[in-house]
Amino acid sequence: MAQHTAKNISINGMYDNQPRVGGALQYVPGLGTDGLLVALGGHVFDGKRTISSQHKGRLLNFSSVDVFDLNSYLTTSDSNGNGTWYTQHTSGSIPQPRIDFCTIVTSAPDNSSHNIWIYGGQNPTTHGGPTFLDDTYVLSLPSFTWIKMHQGYRPRWGHTCHLAGGNQMITVGGHNEFENICDWHTTGVGVLDLQRGVWGSTFQASGNNNSLNFKIVDQIGGTQSGNASKRRPEKAWVSEELGSIMNKTRIYDNYSGTITSSESNSTTGTSEQSAKVEAVMYVGASVGVVVFIACFAYLSLLYRRYRRPNPTPASPKAQNLEEQIEIGDVSKFELPGEQKWYEVNGSDGRYECPGASARVEADAGNAVTYAAELPCTNFAMNGRWGIPIVATSEPTLLGSRSEDDVGFTARKSGPVKGV
């Protein structure tokens, strides 16, 4: 841009080096000596196709991405040099293929991770018609880990994304799943709070906190301020050169306009070195487990020996019983084997109370008929449930009260009218 010149650079170094459409080329300024370009997705036709055959062809998946080192082009002395492309494998929650999506990039406060956000898109090659998407993913660098951030139900494609305020993504324009209807936002603008993962339609001018989303932290380690613990790809670097490039970070100062470069030592350069480190860790852990098991078995043996009860002492002799006194001048010992008593003698047993002390029923002199509860199951002819029956030869009342005072009428046979 400073020289106001442009040049066509060949893509021969890419994994699928044929023309593609509908993909994304995201600039990542925080990595490498002069930054990197990351090519994501796209639609290829596997040969020459006409414009009218857009529904044909093939979509590139996101299981690998192409990385272009800008420094390899800017520092070359060959006027025909095209720079260097690297195809790096990814891992994690890999999104489905798509085109017409948008991307932005954010960095952790300490520059330990750089995260490419992709949103929306469509797949025009599915059977039965295009598939429209409403989801958000993050490709975290340098670990090349895909992280699913959001799943919605309002598809959007053909729109643009813009980073604003350090932690907000503004989306503009686009289409939805309906024909001839543009944008699912009535005002044409949507705002995503990157830290909280919440969609809205209002831009917060004071929101300049670039802390990481907790879903990203869960996958790459560290905290929301950075210090990522996962700093290399799960499937190892495709080359030692790319590992060295991804070790270099750049921080741009908005006030002075200067760029500070540094090189991290936390990332392994090659897959061979990482394999050696992992092997040493596994061997060390295995030896530690074996030593622990051996020590535990030895201590268990010592404990069992210490806790083993002593042999039962022989029964004391009869002449020594008088010397062992416990309570009431009575010797308390286990009886010797030759003088075993299993039960007390019959003369000392008390099994039941004597019959003279039992009272089974009250005598007639202590019972009154009006104080007894009558069974409610005795019925006579014309009797009713719940009204007791009293049958007496000559029904009389105790005391001087009349029948009206008591509240019932007695008969020789029949129900008694209750109170």
CATH of the domain at 66: 2.120.10
User: Is the model more confident about 372 or about 264?
Assistant: 264
Last residue of a domain, one of 257, 283, 309: 283
203-212, 298-307, 319-328, 369-378 — which is least confidently predicted?
Answer: 319-328
Question: What is the percent of the chain with per-residue pLDDT over 70, rounded to a whole number?
Answer: 59
Q: Is the pLDDT of residue 156 over 50?
A: yes
Q: What is the pLDDT of residue 8?
A: 77
On average, the pLDDT of the chain sits at 74
**Rounded distance, CA 240 to CA 92, Å?**
22
Q: Higher-confidence residue: 139 or 318?
A: 139
Q: Is the pLDDT of residue 341 over 70?
A: no
| Per-residue pLDDT reduced to its tens digit, 191-228 | 999 999 998 888 887 766 789 999 999 999 999 999 99
Q: Which H, E and C letters describe 264-320, residue by residue?
A: CCCCCCCHHHHHHHHHHHHHHHHHHHHHHHHHHHHHHHHHHHHHCCCCCCCCCCHHH
- What is the structure's pLDDT at 176? 82
In three-state secondary structure terms, 115 is: strand
Q: How would you classify the pairing of strands 58-59 and 64-69?
A: unpaired
DSSP conformational letter for 403: H
- Biggest alpha carbon distance in the chain? 140
CA atoms lying within 13 Å on the CB side of residue 99: 18
Q: What is the pLDDT of residue 404?
A: 47
Lowest mean pLDDT across 56-65, 143-152, 379-388, 395-404: 395-404
pLDDT at 380: 56
Same domain for 389 and 267, yes or no, is no
Does 302 reside within a domain? no
pLDDT above 60: residue 314: no
Average pLDDT over residues 77-101: 87
Q: Region 262-286: what's the mean pLDDT?
A: 52
- Mark 347-359 as b/e (b = at least 16 C-beta within 10 Å): eeeeeeeeeeeee
Query: Is 254 found in the same domain as 392?
Result: no
Per-residue pLDDT at 406: 43
pLDDT score for 412: 44
Residue ending a domain, choose from 229, 248, 283: 283
In a domain, residue 377? The reply is yes
Q: Would 269 be classed as within a structural domain?
A: yes
pLDDT of residue 265: 56
3-state class of 130 per DSSP?
A: coil
φ, ψ (nearest 5 deg) of residue 120: 70, -155
Report pLDDT for 274.
44
Angle at 382 between CA 380 and CA 383, to 5 degrees: 55
Q: Judge if 277 and 378 occupy the same domain.
A: no
369 vs 248 pLDDT, higher one: 248
Burial 191-217 (b: 16+ CB within 10 A, else e): bbbbbeeebeeeeeeebeebbbbeebb
**pLDDT score for 328:** 53
225 lies in a domain? Answer: yes
Domain boundary (227, 261, 283) is at: 283
> Closest Cα partner for 42 from 127, 103, 104?
103
* Residue 108 CB partners (closer than 8 Å, separation 6+): 114, 115, 210, 212, 222, 225, 226, 228
Q: Identify the domain containing residue 411 by its residue range.
A: 371-419
What residue type is assigned to position 123 of the chain? N
Find the mean pLDDT for residues 128-144. Answer: 93
Residue 9: pLDDT band (50, 70, 90) is confident
279 and 377 assigned to the same domain: no
Domain count, the chain: 2
Judgement on whether residues 375 and 277 belong to the same structural domain of the protein? no
User: Would 19 be classed as within a structural domain?
Assistant: no
Beta bridge partners of 88: 65
Q: Is 13 a domain residue?
A: no
User: Could you tell me if 381 and 273 lie in one domain?
Assistant: no
Indicate whether 268 and 407 sit together in one domain.
Answer: no
Answer yes or no: is 72 within a domain.
yes
Is there a contact between 419 and 407 (Cβ–Cβ < 8 Å)? yes
Check whether 275 has a pLDDT greater than 50: no
Residue 188 reports pLDDT greater than 60? yes
In angstroms, the CA 176 to CA 131 distance is: 11
Q: Is residue 305 part of a domain?
A: no
**In this structure, are residues 271 and 264 in contact, taking their beta carbons and an 8 Å threshold?**
no
Residue 291 has pLDDT above 60, yes or no: yes
Residue 288 structure tokens: 């530690």
The answer on 379 and 264 residing in a single domain is no
Same domain for 178 and 279, yes or no, is yes
142, 35: one domain: yes
